[in-house]
Amino acid sequence: MAKKQVERRTSTAIQFTHQSEKLSLHAHQAKDEESQGAMAVEARFITPQDPVIETENGARLPAVPLKEALELNRLRDQVEGQSSESGRQSRDPSRLKHEESVEESSQAESTQSTRPDASLRNAIPPSRTNPLFPELPLYGPPSLLRDIQCIGFRLSSAILSLAFLGVIVLGSAFTSIPLMFRHIVMRLTFRNPDARRPFYEEEKRRQRIRAEEAMEWKHKRRRSESSSKAEDGNDEEQVGQKEEEFEPTEGGPDPLVCDLGYYARRVGLDAEIYEVMTEDGFIIQLVHVYNPKEYTNASPSQRAHGAPVVFTKPLDHDRSSNTSSATSSQSAHPSNKHKYPLLLVHGLLQSSGAYCANDDSSLAFFLCKSGYDVWLGNNRCGFNPQHQLLDTTDPRMWNWNIRQMGVMDLPALVSRVLSETGFPKLGLICHSQGTTETFVALAREQRPDLGDKISVFCALAPAVYAGPLIGKMYIKFMRIISPGMFRIMFGIHSFIPFMMTMHSFLPGRLYGALGYRVFSFLFDWTDDRWDQRLRNRFFQFAPVYVSAESMRWWLGRECFASQKCILATREEGLIEDEEDEEEDDYYTHSTEQSTERMLDHQSHPDRPQPNRSRKAWFDEHVPPFALWVAGADELVDGRRLLRRFERGREPHVRVVHSKIIEGYEHLDVLWAIDSVEKVAKEVRVVLWKTVPEDLRARCRVPKECESVGVWEDPGVIAAERAVK
């Protein structure tokens, strides 16, 4: 008997070694120093469906298939000599909870599939997100075979993806020919083609202002150079000058640089970069925008990343003695009050610079000057791919999609902002893909507790449902090819990295013009509402490095392009459409009645009452939502998302603001000349009215928000009235 037990333990130890080697940074045979401490020892569950690997030295490796993670933990428990029951009691409670959830979900799925009376319409599915997030492939540690495969994928993708990009560039050039001839004809007939632009006069006015500011900056530099020769006279001149609240420290002609801090300094602000480590080991950038007259830069050690964990320290609501940015940023202000923190997250193929490229009309600069503490989050890889253990040649560095961005990047960014500011909540503003990762993270089966850290979620051009652009030929092509063919064409590393190569050596003006033409062709955008003379600047901050796997999630066979929704299958969407058609017999489509339907949904007993909440995506942790939908957006369908909330499919969602901006396209919510009036000012008010009342006393009141009261939930008010 004892011999059999020894043999069994030996066999289990060998199995654990093999499983660990499959998930480790390097093969165990490696003897170099780099491999020491990189052996996989445990799978840590971030959510029930998202395990990451922890190594001997406490470092993290990215997500692996669920089956592999569970097998590693099971073998580890057996090797440690634990019985099934005692092992479960001694293990990490959070990991145990997640593993139990996985087991219960599997059992529920099995029960669900065997119920003879479970119809598609009425059955409660075991998971709202699993069908939309197929497991990522498993890439083991470096080996001769894996390295040869990686080289093969790199070679095939270098040729095929460049051919694909070439077709797109040629297509954009071909479609630009009619526009070019029209432009030439108008010039030859002594007409100004730009005069047809809707904001032509405003564009000319802004151009004049920029020219005057450039000239003033030139004179300022001359005065500064001559001040050393006439120090006394210069002092007398400065006495009579009124000090500006936001005094630019950069100026002159725009050199078109990819530097967010430079554009902040042009409008009298500045920026500093923090590093944040996600729970799967990626190092991402968080940018703090501030007024240099009120804030002293944090030291490099303070801005460095910490451990790959989030929400671990209880937040001190007073932190008066803390030297973090929360305290130092307010010390120079007479009111001695904190600014309420905001986190802004960018869209697909973009970076945080998208919020900072439009001078004072930039959303980030506008909110900072209004009196908020503005932080800008960048997703993994971006302009500078970094990981705790991996390098860019390792396919595991690029083995992620929107799920990991939502489940790991967003909580890491929120956690760091709250830690630096000392607040228990923040306001979250996202555009396009940033809204996607937030909706994914807040889903009740992902990280719903994240909602407790957010006072309001402002979604600009929310990317939840696909728009008609999904039917374009090139997207259809990417949707019909198999996952294997997709990887052959676009690789298993970065998606078309040649775009970034062009960014590094092409002149800014040429790169900006080329970027606009290509993206305009791909997504049907126009620059009609933008300041045309800033357009090249907008494209200095895009594209960035993204994984081929994430683009496959957006455009490939199984996921968004096919399902046309981020959190529901296509079949569920068809059921929703059928229910909506039935309900439309009782309602018209006017905006006024649509709003009434959203607020008083339960007061119409004479219409069909399907149990829509049975497939709700969010639970009671979800924060209030505010949505700005671009009315002419062909990329995503924001109207359908509003309809989901109006029809009562999300009983826990409280919509504090919703607006459809007719004529706006996908990027107009950020870059349109009138975006300050139509978006930014409303965002400023919505953010302040959703700040919890107990936090207002310690916050500086933003500009033009003095009379804004605390938002009151209509549902809560109605319930209180019913009780009375």
Q: Which two tokens stand for residue 642?
A: 């509003």
Of the residues 98, 305, 503, 666, only one is catalytic, namely 666
316-337 burial: b if 16+ Cβ within 10 Å, else e = eeeeeeeeebbbbbbeebeeee
Handedness of CA 156, 158, 161, 163 (dihedral sign): negative
Q: Given phi > 0 = left and psi -120 to 50 = alpha, else beta, which region is 693?
A: alpha
Of the residues 432, 455, 494, 550, only one is catalytic, namely 432
State the DSSP code for 678: I
E strands in 562-667: 625-630, 655-661
CB 362 within 8 A of CB 355: yes
CB count, 10 Å around CB of 3?
Answer: 7
Of the residues 633, 657, 658, 668, only one is catalytic, namely 633
Q: Which two tokens stand for residue 501?
A: 């190569």
List strands edge to edge, sheet with 372-377: 270-277, 283-290, 372-377, 340-345, 426-431, 454-460, 625-630, 655-661
> Which distant-in-sequence residues (6+ apart) come within 8 Å of 287 by Cβ?
260, 271, 272, 273, 274, 352, 375, 376, 377, 378
CB count, 10 Å around CB of 86?
Answer: 11
The alpha carbon torsion through 151, 155, 161, 164 (nearest 10 deg) reads -160
Q: Among this protein's residues, is 604 annotated catalytic?
A: no
Q: Among this protein's residues, is 432 annotated catalytic?
A: yes
- Rounded CA-CA distance 583/647 in Å is 9
The alpha carbon torsion through 676, 682, 683, 686 (nearest 10 deg) reads 170
DSSP string of 382-446, one letter each residue: BTS--BSS--TTSGGGG---HHHIIIIIHHHHHHHHHHHH--S-EEEEEETHHHHHHHHHHSTTS
Q: Which two tokens stand for residue 166?
A: 């070439």
Q: Among this protein's residues, is 633 annotated catalytic?
A: yes
Helix (H) or strand (E) holding 78: helix 66-79
User: 572: closest CA among 542, 600, 614, 515?
Assistant: 614
Which residues are known to be catalytic? Answer: 432, 633, 666
